Amino acid sequence: MNDHVTLVECPRDAMQGWPHIIPTERKIEYLNALLGVGFDTLDFGSYVSAKAIPQMADTAEVLQGLELGEVWKGLKLAEVRTKLLAIVANFRGAEEAAGQEAIRYLGFPFSVSETFQLRNTNKTIEGSFATVEEIQALCAARQKELVVYLSMGFGNPYGDPWNEEIVYEWAAALAKLGVKTLSVADTVGVATPDHVFSILDFLIRQLPGVTVGVHLHSTHQNRKAKIDAALEAGCRRFDGALKGIGGCPMAGNTLVGNMDTEWMIAHFREKRLLPQLNEQALLEAGQIATELFVA
């Protein structure tokens, strides 16, 4: 097991549902600061319908403004090797994202809740699985990697069928397609520490060739118990967002924020599980996040 955690910073998740449109130049400023921190992966934008998610309509323009491979205040970003991830919801968006050299990962939200899958991608679970199969083939042909988010992976508020066996079956089917990274998402914050441990523990043991991560939404009261349950299960890939902002606007329910990255950094440092980060860049990114989302 890797002695270090992999941190995935998700500003896209924070921005996509924000009630006021964030100017493109401010997004670029924020993302460039985050690029200097040293996160493994940056979930920076999405190639989805501008009508459905207007906040992400400028993703292509934002990408052009990122200082990839340039110097950030004395730090060569190429040395950081932060990889870019873009969310896609259909094959057309995947084609657009796969055509961008700077993007390493395409992320697809695959829900084990039929209601949420219809809300999020306007397709059934079975239809979305067929889309994942197409996108996985595209990624293989374009030298990209697909990350599938198992959204509503710990339950849903709609009354749709959910149990651990459903999650296991879909995870195994996705792995059979060749998907190498799965991230189990607690989309509306219903996971318990016991669920987090049991699902991740089983998937990690049963799918040894797959990286199994977790995308938790949580209040500050129970975040430590959930994170520690994931660590105990052997999970080492964690998503978060500065200030704990974020949530999927397509859920249509009261949103629970993302795991606060700054809290996770402190927690993982206590456990000596965190690679070195650029503190100056983290401070600047935190200040910008406060201006954008808190002030």
The CATH code for residues 6-294 is 3.20.20.70
List pLDDT tens digits, range 194-243.
999 999 999 999 999 999 999 998 777 789 999 999 999 999 999 999 99
Beta strands in 41-168 (DSSP E): 41-47, 71-72, 75-76, 83-88, 103-111, 145-151
In this structure, which amino acid lies at residue 207? L
In this predicted model, what pLDDT tens digit does every residue of 92-103 receive, in sequence order? 999 999 999 999
Q: How many Cβ atoms from other residues are within 10 Å of residue 240's Cβ? A: 26
pLDDT score recorded for residue 247: 59
User: What residues does each domain of the chain span?
Assistant: 6-294
Instruction: Give 161-182 pLDDT, tens digit per residue.
Output: 999 999 999 999 999 999 999 9
Higher pLDDT, residue 252 or 122: 122
Above pLDDT 70, what percent of the chain?
91
**In this model, does residue 11 exceed pLDDT 50?**
yes
